[in-house]
Amino acid sequence: MLFLRHRAALFCLLLAAFASTMVWAAPLQATVENQTRPTTCAEEDNVSMDLHGDGIRRFRVEALPPVYLASIAKDRTAPDFSGCNFDGGTHPTDPRYTFTPRREVLHDGKRWLIVGMVLPSFWRPNQVPVTLDGRTVTGFHLLQIFAKKPGRKPLEALVLYPADGYWRLKPLPAPRFGDGVYGSSFVLGPVEQDGRPVVNIASIAIDSKPLRIRLAFAQGGSAIAKVTEISQARTALDVTLTQPTHGDQRFAVLRSMYVAADNADMSEVRWQATPRSALKATPLPEVSTLRTVQVRFGRSIVSRHNTSAPDIRFSRFDGY
């Protein structure tokens, strides 16, 4: 017994000495900068939250139900053009390119239904090849991913716009909310400015088992967005970039709408500076620049616009 106690004590000493020589890497932080401009139009994306940071290769993006969801019984999803200088259709400042519309089922499997759509008009002419199940098709403006659940019709949980790089996510809705609604959108990858933030994609390849979306960027480099969960609790993407971020280059931008705290697709920022820091909630107009290990763009005040639309959280920033 004495021998065993001595061995245990020696092991603890050696472990402590080894630990003292190691350099423990702190979790990576992202910088969030608020580029929002005021608007009276509830149908215009005036919110831009830029994310950048040095050496980031991996991160997670999640769509989460708003914290007040259990308290509401009915959604409000009707468009509101009362404060706008246009009434539906294309935004008056956008270019407009016309196309022959079509809808094509690209994959219809046990878990996923994947659909490509060409819209009658779009604001960019870009044609991005999409490969799925060994077949390549070009020209879709919209890729839709529907989750299949027993006893329910397929429910859309994710869309990607190949021509400008925009994504929208939502969790599966509770039955009382029908198909559910989207709110905020985002781009990810090497962000450029073309009237609004965009990511120029050279090609897209989709794997259905497991569900992964591979993006090759026109600037160079690529990313894999793995769909890790689609449920009522969240829809989650784990993103891996082939090239780590550097300097002030944006790797993501959240886009949304804010007119007032009760008329917004996101009205506050919940963020954590370090893993041991308390989670803070700051109203959107008071946010300037944050350094954070996780950030959630959402609402705690019930909104009269897209009431059940999800919050969007970025987290798990890593350099490996």
* pLDDT value for 213: 98
**Mean predicted confidence (pLDDT) in 243-264:** 95
**Is the pLDDT reported for residue 50 higher than 80?**
yes
205 vs 1: CA distance, rounded Å: 62
Per-residue H/E/C for 196-253: CEECCEEEEEEEECCEEEEEEECCCCEEEEEEEEECCCCEEEEEEECCCCCCCCEEEE
* pLDDT value for 212: 97
Please choose, from the candidates 247, 244, 156, 162, the residue with its C-alpha nearest in 3D space to the C-alpha of residue 203. 162
Residue % of the chain over a pLDDT of 70: 90
Q: Pick one of 2.60.40, 2.70.98, 1.10.220, 2.120.10 as the CATH number of 27-318.
A: 2.70.98
* pLDDT value for 123: 96
Beta-bridge partner residues of 116: 104, 143
Digit-coded pLDDT (tens) for 58-90:
999 999 999 999 999 888 888 888 889 876 666
**Is the pLDDT reported for residue 144 higher than 80?**
yes
User: 2 pLDDT band (50/70/90 cuts)?
Assistant: very low
**Mean predicted confidence (pLDDT) in 94-108:** 94
Question: Residues 224, 217: contact at Cβ < 8 Å?
Answer: no
Digit-coded pLDDT (tens) for 191-234:
999 999 999 999 999 999 899 999 999 999 999 999 999 999 99
* pLDDT value for 64: 98
Write down the mean pLDDT value for the chain. 91
Q: Give the range with max mean pLDDT: 4-18, 86-100, 102-116.
A: 102-116
Domain parsing of the chain, residue ranges: 27-318
* pLDDT value for 76: 86
* pLDDT value for 85: 84
Which residue shows structure tokens 């239904």?
Answer: 113
Digit-coded pLDDT (tens) for 270-307:
999 999 999 999 999 999 999 999 999 999 999 999 99
Q: Which helix (H) or strand (E) holds 6?
A: helix 2-21
* pLDDT value for 127: 95
* pLDDT value for 27: 74
Structure tokens that stand for 24 in this block = 């423990």
